A = this chain, B = another copy of it.
Amino acid sequence: MYQNIKVGFIGLGVMGQSMAEHILKAGYPLYVYNRTKSKSDKLVELGAVWQNTPQEIAQVCDLVLTIVGYPADVEAVYLGENGLFEGARSGQVFIDLTTSRPSLAQELTAKGKAIGVTVLDAPVSGGDLGAKAGRLTAMVGGDASTLDEVRPVLETFSASIQHHGPAGSGQHAKASNQIMIAGTMTGMVETLRYAKANGLDLEKVIATLTGGAAKNWSLANYGPRILKADYSPGFFVKHYIKDLGIALEEAEKAHLDLPGTSLAYDLYRELASEGHENEGTQALIKLWWDQE
């Protein structure tokens, strides 16, 4: 069934462009839309077809993938004027790859179900490099048999695709992921600050710690970037603030107090307020290393 389907892709940021290119190169007819049209140039050159609105995408495609910035953008793309739902028809599948609110994922799934459209939530992790390499991790919520049908398309850019439960579960799994990273990022900056203040060789500390029980991806990957003062975004501070905000909002709904995650959220908002929102999350160290 999913051999010759027309695939739509909405949201051509750094991640989206790489993902769309993988789909195109796998041979699927690809239709694209983005708020800023120029970002589609490269894909159109490679054979993608530009559409003027999400609605038009929905009118021509069988499967539509979306990855935009914020939950408000997801709402606009799906529910807004000229949005996906205005062009939707029974039998279609929409997959939102944006890290967004679980409750919004559930709302879109319910709205789709009412007209015969299956909506899945499938936020991804792995960043710009993972997208480029086609090695993302997709955390999926929603109808499992639909996931099995569209899996070949997701596999063009994913190394791991896990079904985590009903609508919204992909978002909850992604929120869990971001909560874990709050611990590794705050832990990493405190470690580097302590080690530097006590005169240690930071490269040696990173090498030693990543060989034992303190081992983690943040220290191993961002630690060396910090030592080179490389604050370019693998993952934007502003997007991490969005993700942590969603996680804390959902935690509050579940009556969970998450003090470590709250700490990270406060620190990252402070970082953004100092003008670093478009840098990579490793820029957290800048809250201290200008002064210390």
State the copy count for this chain.
2
Task: Report whether over half of chain A's contact residues are helix, strand or loop; otherwise say mixed.
Answer: helix
- Judging by beta carbons under 8 Å apart, are B214 and A215 in contact? no
- Residue A139, interface by CB 8 Å: yes
- Judging by beta carbons under 8 Å apart, are B160 and A193 in contact? no
Q: What 1/0 flags go to A211-223 for Cβ under 8 Å of B?
A: 1111111110100
- Judging by beta carbons under 8 Å apart, are B216 and A164 in contact? no
- Judging by beta carbons under 8 Å apart, are A213 and B181 in contact? yes
Question: A177's contact among B179, B208, B235, by CB below 8 Å, is which?
Answer: B208
Task: Report if A208-B260 is in contact (Cβ < 8 Å); known contacts: A187-B183, A214-B217, A215-B216.
Answer: no
Q: How many residues of chain A are within 8 Å of chain B by beta carbon?
A: 66
A sample of 24 cross-chain residue pairs with beta-carbon separation below 8 angstroms, ordered by A number, consists of A125-B213, A125-B214, A137-B208, A137-B212, A139-B208, A162-B204, A164-B204, A165-B201, A172-B194, A173-B208, A175-B194, A176-B194, A177-B208, A177-B209, A180-B190, A182-B190, A183-B184, A183-B187, A183-B191, A184-B216, A190-B258, A194-B256, A197-B254, A263-B263
